[in-house]
């Protein structure tokens, strides 16, 4: 009933006084009727949230470190093969970086 009246109401404050509710309550009802669901309240302390973020960032850093190590190893192998091909007089299959 309150939402129906809100549609034709020109003064929300007066409607809220008449219904005996706070204007935020009426707006919350309006948003819920429109399908908006507010996110649940945060149940953890800020320290816990920061600890979780710290752990997530540490895992991401470890993943990136592994990727860099893998790529450096692959680059070393390519360079070693290039040196072998150059030493035998064969033409290298790929140009050096910057050439």
Domain presence at residue 8:
yes
- Give the model confidence (pLDDT) of 14-67 as tens digits: 888 888 988 888 888 888 888 877 666 555 678 888 888 999 999 999 999 999
Is-contact 36 50, C-beta < 8 A?
no
Q: 81 and 51 in one domain?
A: yes
Helix (H) or strand (E) holding 7: helix 2-8
Q: 84 and 63 in one domain?
A: yes
Q: 62 and 29 in one domain?
A: no
Is-contact 6 15, C-beta < 8 A?
yes
pLDDT at 99 over 60: no
Domain presence at residue 55:
yes
Cα 65 from Cα 26, distance rounded (Å)? 52
Q: What is the pTM of this model?
A: 0.40
Domain presence at residue 53:
yes
Task: Determine the straight-line distance between the first and last CA of the chain, rounded to whole angstroms.
Answer: 76
Q: Which domain holds residue 13?
A: 2-33
pLDDT at 93 over 90: no
């Amino acid at each position: 009933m309150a939402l129906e009246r809100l549609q034709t109401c020109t003064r929300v404050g007066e409607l809220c006084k008449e219904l005996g509710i706070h204007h935020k309550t009426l707006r919350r009802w309006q948003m819920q009727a429109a399908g908006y669901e507010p996110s649940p309240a945060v149940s953890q302390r800020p320290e816990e949230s920061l600890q979780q973020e710290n752990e997530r960032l540490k895992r991401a850093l470890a993943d990136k470190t592994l990727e860099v190590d893998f790529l450096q190893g692959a680059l070393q192998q390519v360079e070693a093969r290039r040196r072998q091909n150059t030493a035998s007089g064969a033409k290298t299959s790929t140009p050096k970086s910057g050439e």
